[in-house]
Each structure stands twice: as structure tokens, then as C-alpha cells.
Structure 1
Amino acid sequence: MSCLPGLGPWLVLLLALLSCLVAADCECGFVQDLPPAEGAGGKDGSADGRLLFTNMMESKFFELRNISRDGNWKRQQYNVSARAGRGEYGKAFAVQNVYTVAADGHGESVDDADAGPGEGIALVVGSTLVDDEAVPVAELASARKDMFFGSYRAGMKLTPVNGTCAAFFWYFNDTQEIDMEFLSREFDASKKLYPVNLVIQSEASRQAGYDASKTGTFKVVNLTFDPTEGFHEYRFDYLHNRVLFYADSKLLAEMNGTSVPSGPGHVILQHWSNGNSKWSGGPPKQDAVMTVSYVKAYFNSSDAQLQSTFAEACQKARDDDADSGGNGRVCRIPDVTASNASTGGTFFNTSDPNQPSSSGGGGADDSGSDSSAVHLSSTPTMAAVLLSMVVLMVYS
């Protein structure tokens, strides 16, 4: 049967739109593969060599015009004394040290020259001390604190300025913390040295004066690229009794044992300095900027009500789709490489990040939060509308 004249291009468009809708349908969660020999089932959602997570939080900072509009994140303002922070200087966390840099330069930072090296959220460590005793520093923390076992990812471009610590980490308390930390004083382009410090803070590290290097949960891995020249994705998978660390989807290290956290927490992005010569160094001689293009979190919530809501939504979706085979409402989490780390590749959340949002707290079907996804049940209606438009245009 031949197609109607002129209908071909519109059918291609229709099919493309429908495929996007189907791909974004994730009522039964998000799945990713485990590395070889790590596929034993467990409490973290792993089974048959795969991990299944029920919730997501995706933040496209590279499209955001004002971080205050994103209710999933809170800019922090507080002070840490030199003594409490074990440094030569205190740390002055301030809201103004975290700001949005839009792609066209018209974000919260009006002067693009001060906006840092890329588009996204800038976290700045200042070079001028506050009251001659504290370094101006930056922190952005997730509003949700129910984030349990999961895969946590951030696209970041680090500062080349000596004397800061850039950190992406999961936190519950000082003895349950998973860290990826980058010390700019350790970077040496001439020797191609770009180490990342992989840390799990535990009771053992507390007993060692919070020096995790004296425990079995501290590793230093040299990156194969310059993290100050472009965006790369840094990721850790927090699982039952183990943590896997990645850069651009390549496994860096694995840590196992009872030192791994065992409860829910939240995600933090931080950029700081306090003059500690054994860690951050500094303070920097000039303002130092770390830029974050996006954050993706796929995880299991510790909230019993959200767990129940997820189970009900998944069952309803499967009942509505007899052809799903019991697995058709699961979305596979794609890997990100250096080639698309500035924009993060595929996002399941299709909402406009510039619309005001709350921290929500829902599962994969909660359209009121950053966990929203298009429902497959909406596809027939959307298809009918689009097909009607195509036919009308062809015969008009």
C-alpha cells in the first residue's frame, strides 16, 4: 500500500515524537547494569546483574536561569570556624557564591566575565577573606533527604586555580558519608597528574581524627584527562555494603564492607578552602570557579509512603499495558561520556527547569516534582491528536 503524497515526512515526525514519549515512560523504575562479577541480588535492588531504582531527581543546570527556582536544591549559608574545620582559616558559606550561568550569559551572574568557565551552576571560592579570618566558599545541597541506595551523577568542570577542594558527595552524618573530592593543588599538567580522592567517612575514620586515609575506605585514582579543560561526569553507586566510583562511566574503584553507609541521606556539591596545607591548601590567589552542568540521581527512597505509591503506580501501569510483559515500564539509564558530559545526554524528566518547582518527593510517576515522566497511557491520546493534525495538513 502506497503512502499518501506528502505524508512521509509527517509520519517520520510522528514516529519520532511517539518514540520520545515511550522512552520517557518509567513508572516501574530505572535500571542499570552492574559491572562483571558484581551481579548478586541484594537489598539495594540488584538482581540478575542489574540494579533497579524507583525514584529519580534530574537537574539540568545548563538550561536553568535561576537556581532559586529549582526547589530540589538549596544554597547554603553558614560559617565554620578554623578550629572546627581543622584549617588555618574559617569557611564562610554564602548564597551569593552559588549562582546560575545560562547558556546565553543571562543568568543570575549578569557579568559573563565573572560567570566561570562554562554554563550551569557556578560554585565560587573567593580570594578575599571575610573579616580577615574566613574564606568565602560555596555549597549547594539537595532538599530531599530520603535518598538511599542509588546511582548519583554530576557533570562538572573543575577550577585550575590552586588552593581549593571541589566535592561531590552523599551525606547523612560525619560517619556516614561518600565523597569524591578534587584538590586543585594536586593537579600538575606537566606530569599529567589529576588525582581524585575517593572517600567513605565512617566510624573508623572518626576514630582516626576524620582521616580516612588511615582506614580502608580511602583511595586516590589519577584521572586520564584534565578535569579543568572540560565537563566530565563523576558518579558513585551507593549499594548494600559497597560503593562503586566512576568517571565518564568508567569504573575507578570499588569499596566494600561495613564502613559503607546503611541509611538515607542527601546529595551535596561543595567548593571550599580553609588553608589546610594537608588538604585544600590555599586560600586561592584569585577567585576560583567550579561549574556544574547537571545532576542525575536514580535511587530508592527510604520513605514508606513513597515506596507504596511507587508500587501502586507501577502495578497500574502494567495493568494498563498488557504487552509490557511485566517489564515494559522500566527505563534503562544511559551511560554518559566526555563527549556529552556538558549536557548529560538523555534525561527522562522533560519538564522546563525554569518553571518554579517544589522539592516534591514522589516516585517515577510524580509529575509535581523533578521525578516526573511522561506516562505511556497518554501515548494513544497524543498519537491521535498528532495523526489528526497530519491528515488535516495533507488534505488541506
Structure 2
Amino acid sequence: MAASPWRHGMKLGLRKTVRFLSTVASVFCLANVVQFVAADCECGYSAVVDGHVQVFTDLIETDFAHLLDIATNTDWVRQAFNVTSEADRGSYGEMYAIDDMQTAVAPNSHIEDGQADDGQPAGLRLLVQPGLVGDMIPVSEIDSSRTDIMYGSFRAGIRLTNVTGTCSAFFWYFNDTQEIDMEFLSREYNASNRSYPVNLVLQSREAAESGFNAQGTPTFIKASLPFDPTTGLHEYRIDFLPGKVYFYADGQLLANMAGDAVPTHAGHLVLQQWSNGNPLWSGGPPKEDAVTTVSYVKAYFNSSSSQRHKDWSIRCRNPTAPGAVCAIPQATATNTTASGWFFTNQNNMTNNQTVSGHKNSGGRVVSVAAALWTMSVVVFAAIGWELGIW
């Protein structure tokens, strides 16, 4: 018996419905894939520390040498406060002023150790002035706006002042007993015998009990730099891991420390140059303007923020995929090109990494709204095709 037109229509409708549902399911799968197409570095940034690969999820990168106005960069906060001579244990107080920090831009965007228009090194200039304001020395400090910086690898390209009487410092800080310092005392430099020390310090409870004099504690090391830090840009690096801290200059390990003095809390980064007249430390005040120039900061780290953890788990779908983890280029005495490398300048950089509004293309990551729009258009087209509209 011949099939009725009604039953034939039912079969045809069922086949179309199956095809339609299959098409919709495929579109939903496609949208999910599109939403999470991997940009570079979505799972983090890797560094080799003591022979082991460490992966960090977040970054702060600032190219001070090509930043027109430091006030526009929200990754950093210029500091303005006063410290009395009693509080800073010096002969003079310190006056931290915003006006003592300015950026001077290199005309050539491809040269990191370049000069500004005035012939001086380009970058963020941290100034200590020779004249007193009352009983205070005008000094300078800038801090990272993020205070959720936990374990990580922190690097800064710095040209230090050659003017005697200041302390230039690059450090990580939570409080006075959880602090990781690289401090450079210009009074200690001796060009005649090429002696250029750097003071490496973990501020600890033991140091606090000694009147905040860390020099007699196990976590104070005076290391020798293999170069003159006042004649050019060099990269200074701190690697902070659970229970261990490593210090480097131009990729060369200077020292490492371990033990209870290693911080266990999240903190922030600090760049400063100061003087308080203490003859046992900074000396000074300087007899002329003392300028330490910071060309860049590159910080790769793990955040203490639960929201940042969630952000990372959403974007890092496959840590073993090509490009999911990016190796951090290592600046050395012979590999100066690495100092000019910034992940945030690359075309396929993952989104949601900086707070400074740095321009980058954001990779191929498609937003949820865009993915849903694409899905709705395709679904609408599929419905029209199945109903014979198209």
C-alpha cells in the first residue's frame, strides 16, 4: 500500500528536524571553540630558575623609555609623602615628590638604551636634589598599583646615578619584615679598582629586632657587579619563589637566599632613589642633581587575587598547546635585544593582562558577545534554509 502524503511529510519533517538540530549543535560547538581560540601566552610566561621551569600567570610590562607621560600609566603610582629624620634613622628627613619623577622619551622606538632629546638616557628619571627643603631631602619613589604580586620574576632595566650620596633601589615590598631588596649605594662605587657593589637584602624580623639594620643578619649579601652600573643600561632581576629568592644582574646569578625570612604574603614593586644623610648607608645629600634612569620594568608573577585565578582558569584551556606558555626572553650582557622585547607589543597577545590601557591587538580571542552574535546569525540562516526561505 502506498504511503500517505501525510506520513511522507512526517518523515521528511523528521529528517529536516534532525538536520536542523545537528546544525544548531554544531554551531554551538563552533561558538564555544571560537570563544576560546588560543592567543599567545594564555597559560602564562615561563622562566628557568635554578634549572627548573617556573610558569607565572600574570604580567606588568612598562616601556618607560617610550612613555610620553608617566601620569597616564595606571600600572604605576607616583608617591608623595614625607619621612622625618627620626623615622628614617638619618641626619635628614625625606620628601618624596611627584615632580621628581618624569619620563624622557627616546626618539628611536627600537632602541631601549637610547638617549632622549637632551642627550641623557631615556626612561623614567628618579631624581634626588642637592638642596634641602626645611630639614628634608627631595627624593623620589614610584610603586606598582597592583598589590597582589606574589611569586614571580621581576626585572628592571636601570642606569644608576654616578653622583655620590644616594641609594637607588629596586624591590618587592609587603611590610618592613617582608621585603626583597636590591639597593645600590653610589658612595660605594670605586672606578679606580672597578668596584661596584650591590646590597641584596631580605628584610626580616631579625633585622627589625636589630633596629632595622639587616647587615648583621644571614639574609644580607654584598655582591659585586661585573660592570660599571653608571655607564649604561643593565637588567636587574629578582626571582621570588616559595622559600627561595634569587638575584641577578644581566642574567648572571649574584646570590640566592632561603629560609624563614623569605616573604609569604603578596605585595607590590617599588623603584626609588633617596638620601637621608646617614653615613652608614646612603650618605649624602648629593652635591648636585642625582638621576637614576629606569628604561623598563617587566614583572611576570602569580597573583594572590581569587578573581585573577578565575580569569586564568577560563582562558587557559590547554597548557600543553603550542604558544599557551611563552618563554620569557632573557637579557644578558651579550643579548641586549631581549630588553626591547615586550609581550604586550605583540600582535597575538592574550587579553586581560594589564591595567595601563597599553595598546595591543588582543590576539584572536573573540568576546562572548561576538561569539553569540555569530552563533545567532548562523542559527537564523540554518532555520531559513530548513524552512525553504533561502
Q: TM-score by structure 1 length? A: 0.76
Distance 1:116 1:288 in 2: 16
The one-letter amino acid of 1:259's match is A
Partner of 1:235: 237
Q: How well do the aligned residues superpose, as a CA RMSD in angstroms?
A: 2.5
Q: Deviations over 1:153-203 (max 9, x none)?
A: 000000110000000000000000000000000000001100000000011
Identity %, equivalent residues: 48
The one-letter amino acid of 2:363's match is H
User: Is the 1:26–1:373 Cα contact (8 Å) retained in structure 2?
Assistant: no
Distance 2:288 2:178 in 1: 33
Structure showing greater Rg: 2
Question: Do residues 366 (structure 1) and 366 (structure 2) align?
Answer: no
The one-letter amino acid of 1:239's match is L
The 3 A distance-change label for structure 1 pair 215 and 327 is: farther
Question: Do residues 349 (structure 1) and 344 (structure 2) align?
Answer: yes
The 3 A distance-change label for structure 1 pair 101 and 23 is: farther
Question: Do residues 273 (structure 1) and 266 (structure 2) align?
Answer: no
Distance 1:163 1:333 in 2: 35
Write the mapping of 1:53-202 to structure 2, written as runs, cut at 5 A. 53-104=56-107, 117-131=120-134, 133-202=135-204
2:308 pairs with one of 303, 306, 309 = 306
The 3 A distance-change label for structure 1 pair 158 and 99 is: same
Structure 1 unpaired stretches of 5+: 1-21, 37-48, 106-111, 319-323, 353-362, 379-396
Partner of 1:333: 328
Partner of 1:44: none
The one-letter amino acid of 2:58's match is N
Cα drift, residue 236 of structure 1: 0.4
Question: Do residues 31 (structure 1) and 46 (structure 2) align?
Answer: yes
Cα drift, residue 214 of structure 1: 1.3
Cα drift, residue 35 of structure 1: 2.0
1:51 pairs with one of 51, 54, 63 = 54
For the residue of structure 2 that corresponds to 1:84, the secondary structure is helix
User: Is the 2:195–2:224 Cα contact (8 Å) retained in structure 1?
Assistant: yes
The 3 A distance-change label for structure 1 pair 93 and 23 is: farther
For the residue of structure 2 that corresponds to 1:159, the secondary structure is coil
1:375 pairs with one of 332, 338, 363 = 363
User: Is the 1:231–1:338 Cα contact (8 Å) retained in structure 2?
Assistant: no
The 3 A distance-change label for structure 1 pair 178 and 342 is: farther
My pick for the range that moved more, 330-339 or 280-289, is: 330-339
Cα drift, residue 32 of structure 1: 1.1
The 3 A distance-change label for structure 1 pair 342 and 101 is: farther
Distance 1:34 1:339 in 2: 19
Distance 1:240 1:368 in 2: 24
The 3 A distance-change label for structure 1 pair 233 and 343 is: same
User: Is the 1:137–1:272 Cα contact (8 Å) retained in structure 2?
Assistant: yes
Cα drift, residue 213 of structure 1: 1.2
The one-letter amino acid of 2:103's match is T
Distance 1:254 1:237 in 2: 9
User: Is the 1:275–1:281 Cα contact (8 Å) retained in structure 2?
Assistant: yes
Cα drift, residue 337 of structure 1: 2.0
User: Is the 2:39–2:324 Cα contact (8 Å) retained in structure 1?
Assistant: no
The 3 A distance-change label for structure 1 pair 139 and 194 is: same
Distance 2:81 2:365 in 1: 46
The 3 A distance-change label for structure 1 pair 339 and 103 is: farther
User: Is the 2:58–2:353 Cα contact (8 Å) retained in structure 1?
Assistant: no
Distance 1:232 1:213 in 2: 25
Cα drift, residue 33 of structure 1: 1.2
The 3 A distance-change label for structure 1 pair 34 and 340 is: closer
The one-letter amino acid of 2:75's match is N
Partner of 1:7: none
Runs of 4+ with >3 A deviation: 324-328, 338-343, 370-374
The 3 A distance-change label for structure 1 pair 217 and 23 is: farther
User: Is the 1:205–1:215 Cα contact (8 Å) retained in structure 2?
Assistant: yes
Partner of 1:385: none
Distance 1:364 1:303 in 2: 19
The one-letter amino acid of 1:269's match is L
Structure 2 unpaired stretches of 5+: 1-36, 109-115, 367-390
Instruction: Figure out how many residues of one structure are paired with residues of the other and give that number.
Output: 320
